[in-house]
Structure formats: C-alpha cells, structure tokens
Amino acid sequence: MTLGSIAITMLGLLFVTFLIGRVMPIDPVLAIVGERASPEVYNRVYQELGLDRPLLVQFWFYLQDVVRGDFGTSLLTARPVSEDIARVFPATLELATLGTLMGVLLGVPLGVLAAVRRGSWIDQIARVVALVGYSMPIFWLGLMGLLIFYGILGWVGGPGRLSIFYDGMIEPVTGMILIDSALAGDGTVFRDALSHIVLPASLLGYYSLAYISRMTRSFMLEQMSAEYVTTARVKGLSERAVIWNHAFRNIRVQLITVIALSYAGLLEGSVLTEIIFSWPGIGSYITNALLSADMSAVLGGTVVVGLAFVLLNVFSDLLYKVFDPRAK
C-alpha cells in the first residue's frame, strides 16, 4: 500500500464518518443545549458549531481538526475526545492482542494438523471447534463463562480490568495493565489483572482461533495436493520437512492477511465482550457515546478504529516483502 493509497483511504474514511455524523437522526445542537433551550440559544450554538456553513466547508474544517488530533469535546465526559480515546484504547488493544495471540498459537497448528490428517477424528474435531466458534453468540459464551468460571468455580476475576482494591495502584505508562504492572515489578497487581483478562481474552481468542484454523486448513489442503509436495515426498524428504518447510512456507503470506484481519476485527468488534465484562475499552466508549447522542465521541472512535485497519494493512504489506521477496 503506497502513501498515496493510504492518504486516499484515510480521506475517504474521514468523509464517510463526517457524512454519518450529518445524516444521523440526532441533532447535535439539542444534545448540547437541551430541548428546552430558547431559539436564540439554539441558533447561537448552531452557528458556533459551523452547521450554517456549506457541507464541503464543514468537512474542510473537520479535516483540519482531525489532522491536529482534535475530535471535539465529549458531551458524556466533558473532556476532549482525543484524551478519552488515549485512555480507553489501550484496554481494547491489550484485550485484542492477547486474544489474537491465543488464536494464532492454537489456530495455526490446529489448522495444519487438520489438513495433514484430513478426514480423521482430529480433522473432525477441528471443524467442529471452528463451527461452534462461528455459530455461538459471543455474548452467550461470555455470560456462561462468568457464571461458571467466576460465579461458581471462582477461577478467574470478575468484570473490569482490576479488583477495586488495586485500582490506581500502578502508574500508567502504556495504558495496558499487564505491561505496566510488569514494568513496575508488582506481581500482585499483575496476577490480579491476568485473572480479569484471561476469560474475555479467551473468548476473543476462541473466535479468532475458529477463523484462523479454518483458513489455515483450507490453505494447507490446497498446498498438500500440489505437485511440488508429491515431488518432495518422492525425493525422500521427511513428512515434517514436507509440511513445514514446503507446504506451510507457501501459505505464510496468506496467513498474514488472515491474522491481520482477525486482529483488526477484534479491535473493532469486541463491543459485546467489553460490555459483558465491563471492560473500559473503545467499544464500550463508542457504544455509551452513541446511546448518549455524543456524536463527537462516536466519530472520533470510528476514525481511530478505521486508522487501526489501515495501519494493519500497511504492516501486512511490509511483512509480505519479508516473507515473499517477489512482493518487492
């Protein structure tokens, strides 16, 4: 992805989010002044927000604000939206990263094994695992997980990122509690944070595992039936070398795309998980802002999530060149 295509993509994203803010059946002026405000107050705020200007002019000023990192002020928190996003996004990043790592570390070997043992009981189990991961509503799995592992067994921490007793004990550096507590050398807070994140991360990891294992199996089946694999076996190479040094090596570039899409999906699609587990991430932030007609926060969060998608695509392109020199 070239710099030009990145710029065009981001410009299109900003224009779409801007239009969404204008076509939503929510009056931003009423959200600020209230329904009982006088016409004079309404008109003054209407002009202060620049809503009396032509649409393209409004977009131009909106674009300038976004480039400066100014998404406006949140009606819900009365703080700049950029500060709110900087506070909540690390929580989502921590949760989605751990979920993606679980999905990759378990999903890739499972998909490879299912393809190599096609038709066996291992393959059947892998397909059932993927099917259940796609079919089961994540909010139901979350509620059942809380009931069983927290409510009944007491194996994990409850909703939230930390127990109330430890809240505020660690100075935020990255905003990700596991990393910050490890940097501070506080094992007690680290274990408490781990007990809270393990269940929601496992749910997201299972969802990621289902997608990654299914795609890995499909890619590997295509490679295992190729002529070069048969040739490698005829030459006397071990089955391990044929699978990992030949077949798997040729699907790495495809897997990069799959993993990047899975990661991006968890970054923007973990809203239900965050709500169920009271996880103060960007998904919960955007949802609460939408319910409160706080369009500045909604649009700011949407832009940040879209930017994450673009950056992941750029990172995938860079990895293509590492694993496949022909991409250069």
Residues 159 and 207 in one domain: yes
How many separate domains does the chain show? 2
Q: Where do the H-state alpha helices sit in 175-251?
A: 177-184, 187-224, 227-234, 239-240
What tens digit of pLDDT does each residue of 87-143 get? 999 999 999 999 999 999 999 999 999 998 888 888 899 888 888 887 888 888 888
Give, in order, the Cα–Cα distances in Å from 22 to each of 26, 51, 142, 263: 8, 9, 35, 30
The answer to the question of residue 82 being in a domain is no
Query: What's the whole-model pTM score?
Result: 0.84
d(CA 2, CA 327) in angstroms, rounded, equals 13
Residues 51 and 116 in one domain: no
The answer to the question of residue 75 being in a domain is no
Q: What single letter denotes the amino acid at residue 253?
A: V
What tens digit of pLDDT does each residue of 265-292 get? 888 767 888 888 988 888 888 888 888 7
The answer to the question of residue 243 being in a domain is yes
User: Is there a contact between 236 and 292 (Cβ–Cβ < 8 Å)?
Assistant: no
The answer to the question of residue 80 being in a domain is no
Instruction: Say which CATH number the domain at 220 has.
Output: 1.10.3720.10
DSSP state of 236: T
Residue among 299, 219, 271 nearest 16 (CA): 299
- Longest alpha-carbon distance in the chain: 86
Beta bridge partners, 80, equal 73
Residues 179 and 51 in one domain: no
Residues 237 and 310 in one domain: yes
Residues 8 and 144 in one domain: no
Residues 95 and 49 in one domain: no
What tens digit of pLDDT does each residue of 219-251 get? 998 888 888 888 888 888 888 888 888 888 888
Range of the domain at 24: 3-67
User: Does residue 34 register a pLDDT over 80?
Assistant: no
The answer to the question of residue 206 being in a domain is yes
Question: Which is more confidently placed, 26 or 154?
Answer: 154
Residues 216 and 312 in one domain: yes
